[in-house]
Amino acid sequence: MAEEKALPPKLEVARYLLAQGSLFVHLDPRMDGVEVPDWYRSEPQLVLQIGFDMPVPIPDLQVDAEGIYGTLSFNRSPFTCQVLWDAVFALAGDDGRGMVWPDSMPEEISQEIEREAGREPPPIPEERPSLRVLPEISEEERSPSTPPKPGERPDYLKVVK
């Protein structure tokens, strides 16, 4: 069996994605050392958007070996957040591309993903509409030689009720 390739460090991925634009940080806010508003602390997942050119600037944003630090805006109220790398399980850029670290993912999120992956696709209806080839229309039928009089319907148009 081939060895699994090690995932890149979260810091490297975060810096790369930040250089492209903003960064969506998926984290477990319940972990020790994570500082976010209290109303998010009981959830298994929180997604924070950070960047150097955000509509509400983050002047103290730091992304370093410890994690992510900065004063973010929650409902237009500032809150200084700290997120350690151990709490981060996914990073994504503006275009949706990014990286997931399954070993860091909360159990509830892993179970939900497994449940979704195990679902069967919706059944295909027995009677599916099929395509058919229509007879070719002659040039005469496409463009009649005499235009219809005002208020008259051309022969090639039918009234459908």
CA–CA dist 139, 161 (Å, integer): 27
CA–CA dist 91, 93 (Å, integer): 7
pLDDT at 1: 46
pLDDT at 27: 96
| One pLDDT digit (tens) per residue for the chain, 161 residues | 455 678 899 999 999 999 999 999 999 999 998 999 999 999 999 999 999 988 888 999 999 999 999 999 998 899 999 999 999 999 999 998 999 999 999 988 888 888 887 766 666 666 666 666 767 776 666 655 566 677 777 666 677 76
Tell the CATH topology of 10-116: SH3 type barrels. (2.30.30)
Nearest to 12 by CA among 81, 79, 64: 64
Neighbours of 151 (CB within 10 A): 5
The Cα-based distances of 65 to 12, 52, 69, 88, 98 in angstroms read: 10, 18, 11, 13, 19
Tokens of 54: 């955000």
Domain spans, the chain = 10-116
